[in-house]
Structure 1
């Protein structure tokens, strides 16, 4: 079988910090792309990446030396300066990820509204203005009109107010009176629920693994993960849902988490003011858990009544067989607009589904990505370091060649979803007098192994690093990898 080669540009060093979640504004996006292209051209002389696909073969049993031995006898070559031909080589433009979301979010800019929508907004603003004067939104007694704010945005003070009011209008199909009634009820509920005090209240951290924010989707929406499987822990379940008082505390905690997340959104026209929701149903307590059903129904009703149009997309992953019945039960409590944002994926399609909306470097490791918290235990990569995806066909070998043109330290990490492959890594010098180094001898990787493999190698003699994945199975596999080069001095 002939080998096919695809040359790619290398990822940029983390310190340049150029790549960031794509902006929904075309102007900003074009500026980012130009910066990336310019930086890649400058960085091109350090490394080149070649991806090769071939049939499975036995690895040659060539004599090798240990990493330490090879570095002791290796020949240090002078650094190669970039040539004019290097600088003039064209750089393939990186495509900005396109949203695959079926539900298209409407613009929140007044200039993009239809005439009827503009009129509805103006009528709505008039009703709000009169209500503020008449103190319709207040529950106490006062002689002066009070400023009314919601999610930290004062109503009718600037164009952020229009964005807020449009959420209520869209939730009620631009029916002004119904939208006003919803806004009024929401403001009164917020006072009754003491939202402003709740935001700063300490409700503990028992549920920090149940609901958490991590990364952004391809359009820049923050992503919120809801992990219901955590409630398999009986102690946590009883502590959260054991009686009505505990369920009310859970409800307050969930509202607090949402409020804090919403206040980080951008309510300016054209800004990101919705959240991408992911609900993980793996090992989720079944429909027989009455306490969970009650709490879920209460939360759903409160969120739908008082937090309109804050979900960009709702993706359910690891969906079990029984959930369809449960969904049928709660579906009548949802609007058709809400249900149109839903996506469902079974266990085998979880990572694939998330990749449609979120890049792998933004997806947490437990869901098939490479996103981990930047810390001392993981000092090399962040969610801003891009990941390359490759499909490894059945019964084939995929090799990633990192050709190094300057002395440096190469750091990489990779994973194959579901593993069941053999992984190896070696360094091959350019000169015949050098030694091939087995950085990682062929190792069979299974689902029980660590999800991500990380390694590094110091290049003191120019050559290439070969990362090889042998897929002996009858199924195609997805390989994710990224690397960077770091300078070093003798």
Structure 2
């Protein structure tokens, strides 16, 4: 029987795991009492997780369309898509972690992505399942970064550093991307565009695993990520045909296969000319995703926003926080 350590909502950030715990902190309100069984093993309290959490963090004030906040029409749409997947013998077993998320949570993401139009949501879901089988995503996840890229990962880390560091105040993993000097032609000298797309997929799958881990850890629903994109030194000469194709392809992967997975995204150190590229890129995003994107300039603009989202002790020190940057420690 799998037994997991009971960790409170106020647990130290992932990037600060070596700090001593604050013994005075209380159990979070979001822990569903009927979902856990406490036992005493070796003098230490443990819990066995019996079911996925069914509530969001108290600060995430979702409107209609989310679990426990559905209109009658949306409830009916959820029932209808369940009937549809049963009739079509769509098997979701293995598609999600039952200790971290429920089937309803997954179906609602697809429904929200298609404005609760059941036929369109079902097509998005069934196409995704078929695509994942065709791509053999399970096998892709098990590969090393070098195997996925087909070249030395240091090349990618040099031209497009991307890393995960801690979580925001709602428990969402925080992903940092240094995109300002991405010279894609230097990378495609050593690998292909297709492998770069696979690498993005490989990264996204790892981030989704982090959301599931945080759901189990904090005992409230975590289904999205917070993304910080650094555009310092970006210039129009980087917006080549190949770079445009790459950005379009990864945005397509995200919208078709990771619907409703971005909580919020902020572009920092944005030069004025970035607005030209944004006019193109925003056309690839649905209106709801567009609203989750903020574009700001220097530290005076972005630091207050980031500190509102992320505790200072967990925020990367490159962006005004106190957590030592993990930029070069996650190469693998």
CA distance in 2 between counterparts of 1:318 and 1:373 reads 17
- Choose which of 224, 241, 253 in structure 2 pairs with 1:274: 224
CA distance in 2 between counterparts of 1:27 and 1:159 reads 15
Distance 1:254 1:151, change over 3 A: farther
Cα offset, 1:184, TM superposition: 0.9
1:353 has 2:299 as partner: no
Residue of structure 1 in register with 2:143 after alignment: 201
Cα offset, 1:122, TM superposition: 0.7
Alignment of 1:55-134 (within 5 A): 104=62, 108-109=66-67, 111-132=68-89
8 Å Cα contact 1:275-1:310 kept in structure 2: yes
Cα offset, 1:289, TM superposition: 2.6
Alignment deviations for residues 321-361 of structure 1 (CA, whole Å, 9 cap, x no partner) = 11111111122211111111111111242222211211211
1:238 has 2:185 as partner: yes
Cα offset, 1:366, TM superposition: 1.0
1:160 has 2:102 as partner: yes
8 Å Cα contact 2:314-2:321 kept in structure 1: yes
CA distance in 2 between counterparts of 1:227 and 1:305 reads 24
Aligned pair count? 270
Cα offset, 1:153, TM superposition: 4.0
Calculate the TM-score normalised by the size of structure 1: 0.50
Cα offset, 1:270, TM superposition: 4.4
8 Å Cα contact 1:108-1:270 kept in structure 2: no
Alignment of 1:448-467 (within 5 A): none
Distance 1:158 1:131, change over 3 A: farther
SS in structure 2 at match of 1:185? helix
Calculate the TM-score normalised by the size of structure 2: 0.72
8 Å Cα contact 1:276-1:312 kept in structure 2: yes
1:223 has 2:174 as partner: yes
Distance 1:19 1:340, change over 3 A: farther
8 Å Cα contact 2:30-2:58 kept in structure 1: no
- Choose which of 248, 269, 276 in structure 1 pairs with 2:194: 248
- Choose which of 10, 14, 21 in structure 2 pairs with 1:16: 21
Residue of structure 1 in register with 2:233 after alignment: 283
8 Å Cα contact 2:197-2:250 kept in structure 1: yes
Cα offset, 1:303, TM superposition: 1.0
Alignment of 1:282-431 (within 5 A): 282-286=232-236, 287-348=238-299, 349-372=301-324
SS in structure 1 at match of 2:171? coil
- Root mean square deviation, CA, Å: 3.3
Cα offset, 1:220, TM superposition: 1.4
Name the structure with the higher helix share: 2
Residue of structure 1 in register with 2:52 after alignment: none
Cα offset, 1:188, TM superposition: 1.1
Name the structure with the higher strand share: 1
Distance 1:197 1:14, change over 3 A: closer
SS in structure 1 at match of 2:74? helix
Alignment deviations for residues 254-274 of structure 1 (CA, whole Å, 9 cap, x no partner) = 100110220232368941111
Residue of structure 1 in register with 2:121 after alignment: 179
Unaligned runs of 5+ in 2: 1-17, 32-56, 147-152, 327-332
Cα offset, 1:203, TM superposition: 2.8
Alignment deviations for residues 410-461 of structure 1 (CA, whole Å, 9 cap, x no partner) = xxxxxxxxxxxxxxxxxxxxxxxxxxxxxxxxxxxxxxxxxxxxxxxxxxxx
1:211 has 2:162 as partner: yes
Larger radius of gyration between Structure 1 and Structure 2? 1
